[in-house]
Structure 1
Amino acid sequence: MSTAASVNTRAAGSAGFHLNRRGRFLFVGFPVIVLAILAAAAAVFFGAHGMAPAAASDDEPVAAVESITVNYGDTLWDIAGRTAPDSPRNEAILRIGALNDLDGGDLQPGQVLFVPAGG
């Protein structure tokens, strides 16, 4: 046997290593998952902060609104009384709920609510 025949030859472009299933996931799948999570977080962040407080239609005049931050122990009843003292509280609560797409009366401290300005 000659020495030329016993030399190992590699195919052109072979890097000398192969990725197993876990390696392919780390180099391809994991970055794709991270990018998808970041894209979803950006969509939620910009979608929530980019929306107008109330959708205006052509038939109804645009009402002035202001934003308030919910404090610990605040209820919709208290907020309606502070922001619209001259209106019936149940109507003020319904307007606040409509402006903020609220399903119930659960509020969280630090939550920002849109309320009708000037009562």
Structure 2
Amino acid sequence: MSVTSSAAVASPVDSSRVVRTRLRITRRGRAVVAALVAVPVVIVVGALVLNGGGAVASDTTGSADFQHVTVDGGETLWQVASEIAPSSDPRDVIADLVSLNNLPSAEVSAGQSLAVPTQYAR
């Protein structure tokens, strides 16, 4: 008969049983993770906004085609617009004339020369 000690008879450690701990993120931890994700996104969006609308240079020259009209005495810009573009709304023509000629208002004086876009040419 063989004698075994109680220490030798004890079962080996059960390796199939693994203790898992659950990861818990605190409110401060969630804020830190959100900041770490948000900072690169903000940097990329900021870079795109600052560099997004660049002008492209080309070798073609732009041409602004227009003719000149001289305002007669007592003539208003409404009358000029009605003469040069009878089928168009005078308000649109006046807005284009004021913009093209860089006028401070819609008032014109006799003898003033106005640039007229070719789309409205007589």
TM-score (normalizing by structure 2): 0.44
TM-score (normalizing by structure 1): 0.45
Larger Rg: 2
